[in-house]
Amino acid sequence: MKLTMKKLPQFILLSIAIPTMSYAFDDSYSSTSTVYTSNAEKPPADSGSNNVNSGQNLRYPYIDCVNLGMKNENLSNCVAVSFPTDSPKFYSAYPEKNESSFDRIRNSEELQKLLNNKQFGDIKRLYADLYLAQGVYDWDIPTAEQLQKLYNLEKQGALFNDKHRYTDGCYAIKIGSSYTIGYIGQPNSKCSDIKLPNLVSSGVLVGDALTNVTGAPIIVNFNWIKRGLYQTTVSGFKKESRIDVGVSIPTNELLKWGFSSDLLAANSIKGDVILGVPDVHGVISNPVYTLSTHYSVRSLGDVWEFYSKGEENADVWKGKLNSNAKYQLQYVIVDKTTNKAVYSELFRL
């Protein structure tokens, strides 16, 4: 099937013709960034050949999938686009500074600044659009599903030039029309540098269930019914104290955060008090102590209420909290089936 291209913006066509940057686009590619391929059985070792697959017409960036090392049998997963931010070719595909279009320096350092500042719209505007040299392009900041696909391909050994690139770290991802950070593995301090995948297409890297890639933690301001230490009298003379926490959350908020109607109907959610040191993302991802759900109830007015009550002496809990100056408390609503979680703000008693 032949892929046709819409007319390119004039300033991009002029940029491609500039002699100082022509090496970024191989001579065997047309000015419309379409690759005409032959029936070669295996992809070429050099970037100058266009014999990459069986008689298909593919857009220019496809060759980077070969150069980056994707195995022949997996090339169908990179039909249209690659975005090789580790390669000098990526930055030489257009002038570092183009006064007629964007008065911005474009290099690896500036790209990293945009990533760290979460300026993902600028990345598309200043880098992706120009790199692909197309008026209509397939590339996008990846969805979580696309990042999951790359993770799976690497686990299968399909990306032999990118060993361990997609098995740990944090990446810019797109959810709907907004952007956030996706974590591969456990969120931790190793996510100080945000990355973009080398290989991504908005059209073809799709479909796998999310098991290893998670979005940024959801932290919200809960409506507290109660939160504190309470004293009770037992048998008329013995006083005990306990920790008692309750929150009220509208059902539509739970649905907005990703808890499904089926799971809510099955009462497959719980609320726990967790104690520990918050991570760099503001959540207690590895709690030292957990106070489990005492009970939850869906009350009138389509609101869920969660209650956690410490049966042990609350002075013990307070002692645990005060044993480490970094310890804080947090309330977390958890889907017991998928472990999806929503966190409260941090607090102390």
Q: Do residue 199 and residue 110 come from a single domain? A: yes
Range of the domain at 129: 10-214
Query: Would the pLDDT of 324 be above 60?
Result: yes
Q: Do residue 243 and residue 223 come from a single domain? A: yes
Distances (CA, A) of 271 to 53, 176, 318, 331, 334: 53, 27, 20, 7, 6
Query: Would the pLDDT of 36 be above 60?
Result: no
- In this structure, is residue 4 part of a structural domain? no
- In this structure, is residue 35 part of a structural domain? yes
- Beta bridge partners of residue 180, listed in sequence order: 173
Q: Do residue 178 and residue 242 come from a single domain? A: no
pLDDT for 44: 38
For the segment 102-153, what is each residue's pLDDT rounded down to a tens digit? 455 677 788 788 877 877 777 767 776 655 544 334 456 777 777 887 888 7
Q: Do residue 176 and residue 43 come from a single domain? A: yes
For the segment 47-99, what is each residue's pLDDT rounded down to a tens digit? 333 333 333 333 334 555 565 555 666 565 554 444 556 666 566 555 555 54
Q: Which has the closest alpha carbon to 199: 152, 255, 256, 235? A: 152
Q: Do residue 166 and residue 275 come from a single domain? A: no
- In this structure, is residue 66 part of a structural domain? yes
Q: Which of 214, 233, 250 is the last residue of a domain?
A: 214
Tally of domains in the chain: 2
Q: Which has the closest alpha carbon to 230: 299, 283, 294? A: 294
Mean pLDDT of the chain: 65
Read off the pTM. 0.48
More confidently predicted of 154 and 199: 154
More confidently predicted of 273 and 312: 273
- The Cα 134–Cα 114 span in angstroms is 22
- The Cα 70–Cα 73 span in angstroms is 8
Q: Which of 214, 229, 250 is the last residue of a domain?
A: 214
Q: Do residue 162 and residue 49 come from a single domain? A: yes
Q: Do residue 261 and residue 191 come from a single domain? A: no
Distances (CA, A) of 139 to 61, 62, 78, 131: 10, 12, 11, 10
Given a contact cutoff of 8 angstroms between Cβ atoms, the answer to whether 97 and 110 are in contact is no
- In this structure, is residue 5 part of a structural domain? no
Q: Do residue 309 and residue 246 come from a single domain? A: yes
- The Cα 58–Cα 12 span in angstroms is 19
**pLDDT-above-90 percentage for the chain:** 3
Given a contact cutoff of 8 angstroms between Cβ atoms, the answer to whether 106 and 93 are in contact is no
Give the range with max mean pLDDT: 55-69, 115-129, 227-241, 262-276.
Answer: 262-276
Q: What is the mean pLDDT of residues 256-263?
A: 76
Retrieve residue 298's tokens: 């869906």
Q: Do residue 14 and residue 99 come from a single domain? A: yes
